[in-house]
Structure 1
């Protein structure tokens, strides 16, 4: 550690540990994608993303060494990827995947900056935020140029501003009158959560397809069913307001059953998506004003939390769940110390 820098705070250690784990996972997945991509425009986006992940791992590794912190095990090509496995995903799926993960990165890096105090750590995450923003731009440009990007629903422009004049505006339940129309904030969150669940469902079924373990196949298929159920709930809310929900193009997977990724990696990935989904639902619930939408987000969040917990149990069972840095149990230390 440099003499001019104070020790890292617990929040800063949490940020760099989490970033390392996610970047090591991303490098493995992106390296496999690069083996099978055919579209050169999409390849350039994935290569940019891969190079970012590789660069981040180098910088974070140096930081861990400088601070004399143990480097996380994370994920590696040696242990978690079979680059010779047949193609599992279409180019379209890969581009959609990059766009979704870039969105998660934008949120994640913003949070890391907010939790960091030391200037070098803030600088690292600010640069990371700019890089992931550039990645999102590159992915969006390619997606739009190919006509693949699915836009949020359109509405008629309002002609004037207005104020809420009744408490019924907040109610999503009524036996004697129809629900009030959705506002643009509510529509945007429904749209976003449909999109993320579409990606989650596809990943879950692909991971089930390649896993050699029955219990993990079943857990992945359960995740697919949960995502599809949530898509139906959010789609119904839009259709009840005569709003066309987003319809994605073909983002299919192939019929390959040869595992390109370890079960350890796929379980971690689904846990990451579950955490992101829970965060999305919490944000959506806080931003929505119709009570029926809020209740839906709350009950569906509980379902995701239980699913994630069961996934963590599987990882613990197979000794795959890497423990974040933490403090010592002072009570246990006191009990175990040598007495004189």
Structure 2
């Protein structure tokens, strides 16, 4: 049997649907950036990201049509006001693409692992490679322009050591000294500071350009939570005399003109929130000091509550497109009885 005639699995359907939604959103953001960006060193990276999203949407549409798979509505030119004033600094655009490439690599690796059919795994594997290349290229430009926030330097280990006491895992007792952070813990704290910093700027941009009070309030709440989390992570680093990241100028303009639809902005934030919860879960499981584990668990719960309130807003306004799923068999049965 031709493998392409094999029915798509639930994992493949979920991955294809999610990939289309993400790419259609990205295209809208990148369309706007391309129209306004002036830095000729950064513009090719934005174009590269845009071309990837465009190609992916075309390939996904072809798969949907061959499988008689309803093409998601996703996001279109109706979700971006191309005539709105410039909203972001050029450096923000570079930082944004670099950050979203990281999110994309995590997503594509998950899509590959959830797929089995050769043509589908091949598509997602190529997508992972393209997203990785985008990350590498955007990082190269950021390094050249001095806008990349580097992780802190620590001494290279000269010998192998083993944990010789359970105290290594402690950290909750306020009356005892906490051991210094290890390199794994430092890296996750640092990365979560960077991702929250990007989230703050997006929240500000979306809050000041949304015409809807519920969306404005949600974005401001998201900004406040990110600022609170950054302070916790920075304070943890500073206790061991580790400098906080020097985040580049990733500011937004003073424009208050409606730029992106509320539907797109809320979807975008839900994507970033999901990614953030995943980052916290990974950081918590990788950290060996108990106070760090508890912090990540507590902060994840706070972010999850934000996600729930965002979903409520999207449902109330009919902005939340439903992923493909199993039919309600009991409901179908009752319908048959009525007929």
Give 1:328's aligned residue: 327
* 3-state SS of 1:41 partner: coil
Give 1:86's aligned residue: 85
- The answer (yes or no) to whether the contact 1:109–1:128 under 8 Å persists in 2 is yes
Cα-to-partner distance string for 1:237-294 (whole Å, 9 max, x where unaligned): 1011110011212111000001110010000000000000000000001100000000
Cα-to-partner distance string for 1:47-97 (whole Å, 9 max, x where unaligned): 0000000000000011011100100000001x1011110000000111000
List aligned pairs for 1:1-340, cutoff 5 A.
4-77=4-77, 79-338=78-337
TM-score by length of 2: 0.98
- How many angstroms apart in 2 are the aligned matches of 1:38 and 1:4? 44
Aligned length, in residue pairs: 339
CA apart distance, 1:3: 7.2
Structure-2 change in CA distance of 1:250 and 1:339 (3 Å): closer
- More moved, 169-178 vs 251-260: 169-178
CA apart distance, 1:338: 3.4
- The answer (yes or no) to whether the contact 1:267–1:311 under 8 Å persists in 2 is yes
- How many angstroms apart in 2 are the aligned matches of 1:311 and 1:176? 39
- The answer (yes or no) to whether the contact 1:5–1:118 under 8 Å persists in 2 is no
CA apart distance, 1:192: 0.7
CA apart distance, 1:160: 1.1
- More moved, 2-11 vs 179-188: 2-11
Structure-2 change in CA distance of 1:339 and 1:230 (3 Å): closer
- The answer (yes or no) to whether the contact 2:171–2:289 under 8 Å persists in 1 is yes
CA apart distance, 1:331: 1.3
- The answer (yes or no) to whether the contact 2:79–2:260 under 8 Å persists in 1 is yes
TM-score by length of 1: 0.98
* 3-state SS of 1:256 partner: coil
- How many angstroms apart in 2 are the aligned matches of 1:338 and 1:226? 50
CA apart distance, 1:229: 0.5
CA apart distance, 1:5: 2.6
- How many angstroms apart in 1 are the aligned matches of 2:174 and 2:32? 54
- How many angstroms apart in 1 are the aligned matches of 2:216 and 2:307? 15
- The answer (yes or no) to whether the contact 2:3–2:117 under 8 Å persists in 1 is no
Mind listing any 5+ residue stretches in structure 1 that lack a counterpart?
none
- How many angstroms apart in 2 are the aligned matches of 1:172 and 1:31? 48
* 3-state SS of 1:338 partner: helix
